[in-house]
């Protein structure tokens, strides 16, 4: 499991999440953010110019704009028209209005597409970065974490980060436009502008709790959707068992409870936003009414100035509402960024060492485990003082009951895990640091649960080695005894296998997985319970293919089914994390009271030479 963070540090991280979000956005998308700000400024200036055209239009309909504070604005507009050789005639003013409207529309279109590109590219970069951190984390950290948490972070949470980007850009647009309107309002009436700001600030203070609630609900939403995502994956994966137990109703009930919880958090978020919008609308109407009353009763502004000021405030106050709404929505979405950023930080702390130019690791002599112990943070030890040797070019079988530590040995040998004590040596070289990654490049691995992509046979093979040519593909299929059945598929190598290889039988999937492993031309082939889920017929086909590889590469066969050890040069018996026996299969079987002999007897193999009965010609 990814290491936990102290609650105080986690709370501090969440408090700084908006700042961290903005910092990350600027670092990753600096020139796009600069373009967005430039477009905002240009659009704000164009909208302000549109508003100023109201002054000559009021004059054209008979209102006196020369009196009061509008006089200097009227003169400035006439001068601007004069600079291009025009008078403030109806045609000129309306033509300017059309041109400005077109400019605003064009900039808005550019801004919309540019901002959406910024949003999507930012999310894509975060997604690639998080996936790389997941892939680079050490195996112990990855295996002890819920894969559904990673999937949820890469999809739903980062989609919410994209929404946060949209809200932030909307917030910035409002913040850029408000000062333009404020400057115009101050020129007309400082006192009225001050009154509006005081009322607006009071309204925002009253709604501050709603903004804080948005953040809290956003965090609850992240947790609820994460749990729902995990449950969906688990329940769908267990559907065969659910149906076998007749537990469809109970399973649906459990899932429905999580669905209700998720719906509740979304409803709470929507209710919180709607409440804030309601109070802001009521407050805005009250402020506008107060402005009108004060203007009429106390300030005695000229009619044209009063009309212009009301139009201006009518634009400004909704802007305040938009700013408040965007801020609230942003604070509701930013917890998703905090969770993904925190996940990446912890994964990076558990990243494997990857030197820039790692030296190649080849197995030419022997693979050794010397005094190896392995345990977990909770104190459980799965291996104790293990000494084991696998000679290059030999076939070694590691057998024992479930829970003996066989798969842990496979993970240590493949460099996925590092021993807590002792050393894993390849030709005397310890597998530490970057050597572990280099060694994994020389390993072929076939597990009990083989994963095949919903793609063609060719693509599934090339996934292991993209530069392999046609001859090498066919050769790997030959070695794995898979060429014949692949040739019989509807489209041969181009046949799509379906979800997790559903179009193939279990034995065919394993032989294809073996071909994929052999395509890597490994120094060591690890078969980790690769046949334990197969029937006898398919197990024999897979093992016959493996037997044909004897002497051509080093093979480590891990199994609890002793029939799979029929062609091993040496058998190592593991029990309770300790090596209890090693030797040739028949010699161990002939031993009196040995553990291997006892295991064989339990599986119907009772006398020396019995293993020979399993060594039949290939099917």
- Confidence tier at 1 by pLDDT (50, 70, 90): very low
Lowest mean pLDDT among 167-176, 315-324, 518-527: 315-324
Residues 159 and 244 in one domain: yes
pLDDT of residue 117: 92
- Phi, psi of 392, deg, nearest 5: -60, 135
Residues 408 and 500 in one domain: no
- Does residue 11 carry a pLDDT above 70? no
CATH of the domain at 299: 1.20.1560.10
Residues 67 and 116 in one domain: yes
Among 290, 315, 350, give the residue marking a domain's end: 350
In a domain, 538, yes or no: no
Place of tokens 């704009």: 65
Lowest mean pLDDT among 372-376, 447-451, 570-574: 447-451
Residues 393 and 324 in one domain: no
At 50-95, the pLDDT tens digits run 877 887 877 777 777 777 667 777 778 888 888 888 888 888 888 8
- Does residue 378 carry a pLDDT above 70? no
Among 315, 350, 385, give the residue marking a domain's end: 350
In a domain, 1, yes or no: no
Residues 165 and 177 in one domain: yes
At 220-250, the pLDDT tens digits run 888 888 888 777 777 777 676 666 566 777 7
- Phi, psi of 483, deg, nearest 5: -65, -40
In a domain, 619, yes or no: no
Query: Is residue 54 within 8 Å of residue 308, measured between CB atoms?
Result: yes
- Does residue 2 carry a pLDDT above 60? no
pLDDT of residue 243: 67
Tokens of residue 71, six digits: 């006089």
Domain extent for 461: 449-521
Residues 508 and 410 in one domain: no
At 422-431, the pLDDT tens digits run 999 888 888 8
Residues 340 and 394 in one domain: no
pLDDT of residue 125: 92
Percentage above 70 pLDDT, the chain: 87
Domain count, the chain: 3
450 DSSP 8-state letter: -
In a domain, 299, yes or no: yes
DSSP code per residue over 206-237? HTHHHHHHHHHHHHHHHHHHHHHHHHHHHHHH
Residues 213 and 138 in one domain: yes
Residues 474 and 460 in one domain: yes
Q: Phi-psi bin for 554: left (phi > 0), alpha (psi -120 to 50), beta?
A: beta
pLDDT of residue 609: 53
Place of tokens 């990753």: 28
Whole-angstrom CA distances from 337 to 6, 24, 128, 156, 165 are 19, 10, 14, 11, 10
Query: b/e string for 175-197 if b means 16 or more Cβ within 10 A?
Result: bbbbebbeebbeebbeebbebbe
In a domain, 4, yes or no: no
- Does residue 346 carry a pLDDT above 80? yes
CATH of the domain at 482: 3.40.50.300
Percentage above 90 pLDDT, the chain: 3
Specify the pTM: 0.78
In a domain, 617, yes or no: no
In a domain, 12, yes or no: no
- Does residue 352 carry a pLDDT above 60? yes
Highest mean pLDDT among 72-81, 288-297, 366-375: 366-375
Whole-angstrom CA distances from 514 to 349, 454, 467 are 34, 18, 18
């Amino acid at each position: 499991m990814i290491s936990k963070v102290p609650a105080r540090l986690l709370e501090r991280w969440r408090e700084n999440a908006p700042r961290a979000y903005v910092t990350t956005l600027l670092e990753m998308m600096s020139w796009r953010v600069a373009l967005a700000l430039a477009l905002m400024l240009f659009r704000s200036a164009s909208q302000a110019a549109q508003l100023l055209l109201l002054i000559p239009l009021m004059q054209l309909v008979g209102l006196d704009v020369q009196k009061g504070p509008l006089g200097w604005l009227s003169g400035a507009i006439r001068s601007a028209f004069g600079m291009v050789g025009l008078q403030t005639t109806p045609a000129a003013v309306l033509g300017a209005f059309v041109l400005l409207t077109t400019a605003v529309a064009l900039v808005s279109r550019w801004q919309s597409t540019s901002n959406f590109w910024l949003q999507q590219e930012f999310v894509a970069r975060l997604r690639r970065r998080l996936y790389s951190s997941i892939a680079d984390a050490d195996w112990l950290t990855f295996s002890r974490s819920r894969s559904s948490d990673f999937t949820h972070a890469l999809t739903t949470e980062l989609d919410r980060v994209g929404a946060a980007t949209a809200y932030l850009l909307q917030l910035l647009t409002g913040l850029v436009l408000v000062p333009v309107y404020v400057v115009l309002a101050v020129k007309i009436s400082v006192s009225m502008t001050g009154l509006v700001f005081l009322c607006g600030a009071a309204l925002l203070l009253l709604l501050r709790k709603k903004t804080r609630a948005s953040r809290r609900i956003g965090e609850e939403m992240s947790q609820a959707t994460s749990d729902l995502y995990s449950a969906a994956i688990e329940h769908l994966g267990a559907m065969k068992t659910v149906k076998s137990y007749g537990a469809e109703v109970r399973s649906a009930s459990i899932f429905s409870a999580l669905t209700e919880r998720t719906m509740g958090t979304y409803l709470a978020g929507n209710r919180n936003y709607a409440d804030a919008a309601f109070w802001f609308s009521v407050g805005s109407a009250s402020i506008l009414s107060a402005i009108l009353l004060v203007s009429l009763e106390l300030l005695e502004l000229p009619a044209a100035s009063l009309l212009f000021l009301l139009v201006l405030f009518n634009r400004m106050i909704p802007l305040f509402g938009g700013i408040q709404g965007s801020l609230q929505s942003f604070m509701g979405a930013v917890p998703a960024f905090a969770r993904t950023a925190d996940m990446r930080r912890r994964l990076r702390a558990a990243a494997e060492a990857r030197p820039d130019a790692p030296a190649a690791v080849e197995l030419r002599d022997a693979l050794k485990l010397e005094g190896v112990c392995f345990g977990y943070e909770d104190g459980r030890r799965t291996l104790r003082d293990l000494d084991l040797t696998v000679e290059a070019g030999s076939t070694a079988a590691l057998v024992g009951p479930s829970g003996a530590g066989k798969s842990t040995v496979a993970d240590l040998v493949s460099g996925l895990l590092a021993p807590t004590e002792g050393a894993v040596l390849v030709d005397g070289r310890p597998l530490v640091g970057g050597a572990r990654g280099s060694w994994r490049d020389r390993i072929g691995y076939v597990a009990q649960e083989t994963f095949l992509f919903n793609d063609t046979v060719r693509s599934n093979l090339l996934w292991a080695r993209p530069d392999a040519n046609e001859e090498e593909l066919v050769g790997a299929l030959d070695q794995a005894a898979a060429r014949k059945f692949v040739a019989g598929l509807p489209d041969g190598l181009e046949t799509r296998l379906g979800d997790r290889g559903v179009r193939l039988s279990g034995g065919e999937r394993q032989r294809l997985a073996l071909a994929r492993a052999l395509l890597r031309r490994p120094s060591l082939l690890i078969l980790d319970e690769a046949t334990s889920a197969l029937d006898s017929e398919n197990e024999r086909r897979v093992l016959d293919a493996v037997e044909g590889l004897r002497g051509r590469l080093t093979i480590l066969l891990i199994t609890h089914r002793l029939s799979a050890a029929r062609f091993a040069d040496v058998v190592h018996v593991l029990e309770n994390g300790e090596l209890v026996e090693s030797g040739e299969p028949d010699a161990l079987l002939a031993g009196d009271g040995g553990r291997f002999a006892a295991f064989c007897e339990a599986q119907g193999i009772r006398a020396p030479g019995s293993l020979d009965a399993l060594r039949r010609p290939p099917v």
